[in-house]
Structures are given as C-alpha cells and as structure tokens.
C-alpha cells in the first residue's frame, strides 16, 4: 500500500493524520478477529472485543514506539482485552480450572527427526481440541501456529520471557496430543 509500513502509518497517526488509522484497522481486522475467535470461542463476543482493541489502540497510539514493530504492540492490546473479556465472562459463572504446570511437570526432551511429523499432527488436532487448552497455553499456540509469530514476538505480546514461550508451547503440544489420543480412544 502507498501508505507505508505499519510503523510509518502509526507515526503519521501520531502526528495527527487520524484518518490513516483506518489503514491499520484494514490490515489487522481479519488477523485480530481470527485471534479473538480462537481465544474467546464466541463470535459475537469476539467481534465486540476486537472493536474494543481498535478503540484502545487509537486512544493509546501516542504510546507506540516507532522504533519497534507495530504488530506486537497491537497484539498486546488485544491480549489484554481478551483476558479482560474472559475474566468478565467467567466472573458470572463458576468453572473448574486446573493448572497444567501442577499436573504435568515439564520434561525437557531433545529435538528429534520426529519433530516435523509431530508438528503436522499438532496442526491437524489444533482446531479440534484448541478450546480444551487453558488460556495460558492456548494463546501462545494461536500466536505461533495461526498468526505466524516467532518466540520473541510472542514474548513481547504476552510479556513473558522467550524461554517461557517455548515451555508453554511444549506443554500445549503435549496436552493437545493427550486430548487427541483420548478422543481416539473414545471413538
């Protein structure tokens, strides 16, 4: 687009060209909507929350640092809004929650030739079992596999160390495999 990179457009919005914020909305509407649908599992709620993300982003555009990438900045706003939406949703009902960190200790394993096959299988089961993952693990999975972010970008969005991103993704993979295996056993 003739408007420039996301970062250049954001700077122009910061400088008063507020109508250019529409360019950022066009660029991120589908991505953030997909992220919201996968994270929140409620289409109506997801659309509303994505609108809130854009409102917050516009209201806080002056806090964007143009020396950094725009995408982690807006995804961080989305993350915060999604977490808040989940808190509001679960505050009205009691749910049973468990922490995978407690139930499944982290076991470090060296990478093997089976990694590529494992990743293909994971992608196949992702759609089927994603909602079973807790938000703590679901979010890095969505950002990595569906949004194509690298560990560093996910680290920036979630405000966690890069190593924690890796641990959460590994634990999510294990849980998804377990969900897939138990589903197969039931069929």
pLDDT cut 90: percent of the chain above it: 40
Residue 1 counted as domain residue: no
* Confidence (pLDDT) at 98: 37
Structure tokens at 102: 């407690």
**How large is the average pLDDT for residues 32-53?**
85
Last residue of a domain, one of 29, 59, 91: 91
158 or 121, which is more confident: 158
Looking at residue 179, its pLDDT comes to 77
Residue 20 DSSP one-character state: G
Q: Which comes out higher in pLDDT, residue 153 or 186? A: 153
- Between helix 43-59 and helix 21-40 the angle, nearest 10°, is 140
34 part of a folded domain: yes
Q: What is the pTM of this model?
A: 0.63
From 40, 69, 91, the end of a domain falls on 91
| pLDDT of 122 | 56
Q: Are 169 and 140 in contact (CB under 8 A)?
A: yes
Whether residue 21 sits in one domain with residue 86: yes
Separation CA 19–CA 103 (nearest Å): 50
Q: SS3 for 68?
A: coil
Q: Are residues 78 and 11 in the same domain?
A: yes
Q: What is the CATH number of the domain that holds 15?
A: 1.10.1740.10
Does any domain span residue 50? yes
User: Of 91, 126, 150, at which residue does a domain stop?
Assistant: 91
CATH of the domain at 182: 1.10.10.10
Q: Is the pLDDT of residue 69 over 50?
A: yes
What is the pLDDT at residue 88?
Answer: 79
Q: Supply 134's token pair.
A: 């807790």
User: Number of structural domains, the chain?
Assistant: 2
Residues 126, 172 within the same domain: yes
In tens, the pLDDT along 125-163 reads 676 778 888 888 888 988 888 888 899 999 999 999 989
In this prediction, residue 62 carries a pLDDT of 96
Q: Whole-number mean pLDDT of the chain?
A: 80
Q: Which domain holds residue 12?
A: 6-91
Residues 80 and 130 both lie in one domain: no
User: Residue 59: what pLDDT?
Assistant: 95
> What pLDDT band is residue 93 in, cutting at 50, 70 and 90?
very low
């Amino acid at each position: 687009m003739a408007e420039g990179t996301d970062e250049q457009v954001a700077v122009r919005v910061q400088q008063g060209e507020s109508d250019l914020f529409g360019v950022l909305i066009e660029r991120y509407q589908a991505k953030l909507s997909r992220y919201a649908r996968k994270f929140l599992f409620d289409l109506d709620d997801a659309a509303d929350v994505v609108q809130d993300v854009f409102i917050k982003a516009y209201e806080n555009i002056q806090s964007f640092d143009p020396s950094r990438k725009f995408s982690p900045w807006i995804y961080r706003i989305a993350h915060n809004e999604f977490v808040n939406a989940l808190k509001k949703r679960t505050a009205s009902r009691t749910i049973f929650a468990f922490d995978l960190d407690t139930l499944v200790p982290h076991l470090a394993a060296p990478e093997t030739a089976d990694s590529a096959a494992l990743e293909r299988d994971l992608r196949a089961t992702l759609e089927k079992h994603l909602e079973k993952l807790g938000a703590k693990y679901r979010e890095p999975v969505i950002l990595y596999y569906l949004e194509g972010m690298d560990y560093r970008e996910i680290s920036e969005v979630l405000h966690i160390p890069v190593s924690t991103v890796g641990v959460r993704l590994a634990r999510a993979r294990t849980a998804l495999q377990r969900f897939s295996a138990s589903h197969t056993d039931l069929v």
